[in-house]
């Protein structure tokens, strides 16, 4: 069921009770507005995610999906509105760009991504994550030799690393923010990512993702905790004129 952003379509966002820990809100945002190049991408967007819930951001190219994701991650400042994250703000945030260094090995590149986020990860954990993403045999290969889909898998291996820390409440990230996680993946890669997303929700995590294809994790489209938000063009709102 697709739920439009308030101010763009008649009805507002509504979220069902979470399946796991229903009173534990992991992410909330109210009245978000964003402008790019003098045009308003969205306004009055409200989000509330509880443990076990997922939000799929939809919309045409340029509708503001990535911009909204960055605001939810705290990587940008909205023209209006507020964002709050609980559990110390711990999260896994994976952008559309893979940010891999071509001269590093696959293992080294994944370790570098983790270090950028302040995560100290063992070689055993790195190896296990790469294996789950189907890259066990590529662990020592230079990044420059990988296909686009394989490079995407390396970046997404951070999700497998986070799942491996389940049970360590001070270490694992309850919130995942993912920009086009299925991009460039083959059918097996899509299935692997859906499995990771399903495992994350099952442990009480929450996630927000953008995607041009429908997610299929754990029967996502049929569970109460899965919602969609459709973004589109808006007129300049009163009180927010540039």
Q: How far apart, in whole angstroms, are the C-alpha atoms of residue 193 and residue 216?
A: 10
What mean pLDDT comes out for the span 115-126?
91
DSSP, residue by residue, 139-189: TTSBGGGS-HHHHHHHHHHHHHHHHHTTT-TTTS-SEEEEESTTTT--HHH
Q: How far apart, in whole angstroms, are the C-alpha atoms of residue 17 and residue 15?
A: 7
Q: For 74-103, what is each residue's pLDDT tens digit?
A: 999 999 999 999 867 789 999 999 999 999
Q: Is the pLDDT of residue 6 over 50?
A: no
Q: What are phi and psi of 123, to 5 degrees?
A: -60, -35
Q: How far apart, in whole angstroms, are the C-alpha atoms of residue 112 and residue 49?
A: 30
Q: For 14-43, what is each residue's pLDDT tens digit?
A: 222 233 345 689 999 999 999 988 889 999
What mean pLDDT comes out for the span 158-176?
80
What mean pLDDT comes out for the span 231-240?
57
């Amino acid at each position: 069921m697709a739920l439009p952003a308030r101010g763009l379509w008649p009805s507002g966002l509504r979220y069902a009770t979470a399946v796991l820990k229903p009173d534990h809100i992991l992410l909330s945002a109210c009245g978000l507005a964003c402008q790019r190049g003098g045009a308003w991408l969205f306004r009055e967007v409200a989000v509330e995610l509880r443990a076990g819930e997922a939000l799929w951001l939809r919309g045409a190219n340029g509708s503001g999906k990535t911009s909204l994701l960055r605001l939810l991650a705290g990587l940008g400042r909205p023209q209006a509105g507020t964002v709050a994250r609980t559990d110390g703000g711990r999260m896994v945030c994976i952008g559309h760009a893979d940010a891999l260094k071509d001269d590093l090995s696959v293992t080294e590149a994944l370790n570098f991504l983790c270090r950028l986020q302040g995560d100290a990860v063992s070689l055993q954990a790195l190896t296990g994550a790469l294996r789950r993403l189907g890259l066990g045999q590529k662990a020592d290969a230079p990044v420059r030799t990988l296909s686009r889909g394989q490079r995407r898998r390396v970046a997404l291996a951070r999700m497998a690393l986070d799942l491996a820390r389940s049970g360590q409440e001070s270490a694992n990230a309850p919130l995942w923010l993912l920009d086009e996680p299925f991009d460039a993946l083959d059918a097996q890669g899509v299935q692997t990512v859906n499995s990771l997303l399903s495992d994350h929700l099952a442990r009480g995590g929450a996630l927000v993702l953008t995607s041009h294809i429908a997610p299929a994790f754990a029967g996502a489209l049929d569970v109460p905790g899965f919602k969609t938000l459709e973004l589109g063009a808006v007129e300049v709102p009163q009180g927010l004129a540039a």
